[in-house]
């Protein structure tokens, strides 16, 4: 029984690696063999004889053979470059996938550790503010008073009564 898909290692299609590694060698060898065959196996200027028309044809043939072999050399270089670029592309894909994986690991670490949350940082910052500390102290004092029959545990000056509750001047009206 194998691992579930999410736990299996990432596998890349072999096409880029195959083209880059295996075919580069084949392409290089085949192109080189064709260059050698064209260079060594084809006729040259003197093959056509010494008559002026044959020499003229030999000159045209030699120019065409040079163009052909140089084209083959260019094809060989192009194939090698293509294979190298395919190898680079495959390596770049793997590198970017690994970097993305590292980013997800960093993200996971942030989201699994409360210290990584911006909300936790801001909450701790607010919790330390004077207003929250004073409010917390007041709430604690009120809670103690309620739990102990309304008797304050600490004496604090009572806040002044609002003006609407103060006794009217000059007695009862």
Name the nearest CA neighbour of 28 among 89, 88, 78: 78
pLDDT of residue 173: 44
pLDDT attached to residue 104: 79
Tokens of residue 1, six digits: 């029984």
Q: Which of 37, 55, 38 is nearest to 47 (CA)?
A: 55
Query: Which residues touch 77 (CB under 8 Å, ≥6 apart)?
Result: none
Instruction: Spell out the residues 6+ positions from residue 46 whose beta carbon is closer than 8 angstroms to its own.
Output: 58
Does the global pTM surpass 0.95? no
Query: How far lies 163's CA from each of 12, 22, 108, 158, 173, in Å?
Result: 80, 95, 58, 15, 17
- Biggest CA pair distance of the chain: 148
Per-residue pLDDT of the chain (173 residues; tens, 9 = 90+): 576 776 666 666 666 667 667 777 777 788 788 888 877 877 777 788 888 898 898 888 888 888 888 888 888 888 888 888 888 888 888 888 888 878 878 777 777 777 777 888 888 888 888 888 888 888 888 888 887 766 655 555 555 555 555 555 555 54
Residue 49, burial from CB neighbour count under 10 angstroms (0-12, 13-18, 19+): exposed
DSSP codes, 93-155: HHHHHHHHHHHHHHHHHHHHSGGG-HHHHHHHHHHTSHHHHHHHHHHHHHHHHHHTTT--SS-
């Amino acid at each position: 029984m194998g691992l579930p898909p999410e736990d299996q290692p990432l596998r890349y299609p072999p096409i880029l690696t195959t083209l880059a590694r295996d075919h580069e060698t084949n392409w290089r060898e085949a192109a080189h063999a064709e260059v050698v065959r064209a260079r060594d196996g084809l006729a040259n200027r003197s093959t056509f004889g010494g008559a002026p028309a044959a020499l003229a044809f030999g000159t045209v043939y030699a120019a065409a053979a040079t163009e052909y072999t140089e084209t083959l050399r260019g094809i060989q270089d192009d194939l090698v470059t293509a294979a190298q670029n395919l190898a680079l592309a495959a390596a770049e894909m793997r590198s970017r996938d690994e970097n993305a994986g590292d980013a997800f690991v960093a993200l996971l670490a942030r989201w699994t550790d409360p210290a990584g949350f911006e909300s936790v940082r801001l909450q701790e910052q607010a919790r330390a503010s004077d207003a929250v500390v004073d409010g917390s102290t007041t709430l604690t004092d009120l809670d103690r008073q309620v739990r102990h029959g309304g008797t304050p545990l600490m004496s604090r000056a009572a806040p002044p009564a609002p003006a609407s509750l103060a006794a009217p001047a000059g007695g009862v009206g």
